[in-house]
Amino acid sequence: MIEKKRVVITGLGLVTPIGIGVDETWSAALSGKSGIGSITHFDASSFPVRIAGEVKGFDAANYIEAKEIKKMDRFIHLAVAAATMAIDDSGFRITGENAEKVGVVIGSGMGGLPAIEHYHKAYLEKGYKRISPFFIPMLIINMASGNVSIRFGAKGPGSCPVTACATGSHSIGDAARIIQRGEADAMIAGGTESCITALGIGGFAVMKALSTRNDEPERASRPFDIDRDGFVMGEGAGIVLLESLDSALSRKAKIYAEVSGYGMSSDAYHITTPAPGGEGAVRCMKAALKDAGIGPEKIDYINAHGTSTKYGDELETTAIKTVFGEHAYKLCVSSTKSMVGHLLGAAGGVEAILSVLSIYHGKVPPTINLDNPDPECDLDYVPKTAKQVDVTYALSNSFGFGGTNACLIFGKYRGN
**Domain annotation for the chain: domains and CATH numbers:** 7-250 (3.40.47.10), 262-411 (3.40.47.10)
Task: For Cα atoms 214, 191, 274, give the angle at the middle one, nearest 5 degrees.
Answer: 65
pLDDT tens per residue across span 128-172: 999 999 999 999 999 999 999 999 999 999 999 999 999 999 999
Over the stretch 269-297, which tens digit does the pLDDT of each residue have? 999 999 999 999 999 999 999 999 999 99
- What does residue 220 show for φ and ψ, rounded to 5 degrees? -75, -40
Strand partners of residue 9: 242, 257
**pLDDT tens-digit series, residues 328-361:** 999 999 999 999 999 999 999 999 999 999 999 9
- pLDDT at site 375: 97
pLDDT at 415: 81
pLDDT, tens digit, for every residue of 62-102? 999 999 999 999 999 999 999 999 999 999 999 999 999 99
> CA-based Rg of the chain, rounded to a whole angstrom?
20
When pLDDT is averaged across residues 98-119 and rounded to a whole number, the result is 98
- pLDDT tens per residue across span 247-274: 999 999 999 999 999 999 999 999 999 9
Q: Give backbone dihedrals phi and psi of 57, rounded to 5 degrees, phi first.
A: 70, 20
Q: Which residues are catalytic?
A: 165, 305, 342
User: Residue 294 CA to chain centroid, in angstroms?
Assistant: 24
End-to-end CA distance of the chain: 21
pTM to 2 decimal places: 0.98
- How many angstroms separate the CA atoms of 144 and 346, rounded? 12
Q: Confirm if 303 and 396 have CB atoms less than 8 A apart.
A: yes
Residue 332: HSE in the Cβ half-sphere, 13 Å Cα cutoff: 28
Are 18 and 29 in contact by the 8 Å Cβ rule? The answer is: yes
Residue 131, helix vs strand vs coil: coil
Question: pLDDT band at 201, cuts 50/70/90?
Answer: very high
CA distance 233 to 114: 15
Concatenated DSSP letters for 145-185? HHHHHHHHT--S-EE----GGGHHHHHHHHHHHHHHTTS-S
Partners of residue 395 on adjacent β-strands: 302, 409
**Secondary structure (DSSP) of 214-265:** TT-GGGT--TTBTT---B-BB-EEEEEEEEEHHHHHHTT----EEEEEEEEE
Kindly state the percentage of the chain with pLDDT values over 90. 99
Q: Distance (Å, rounded) from C-alpha 38 to C-alpha 54? A: 9
42: exposed, middle or buried (Cβ count in 10 Å: 0-12, 13-18, 19+): middle
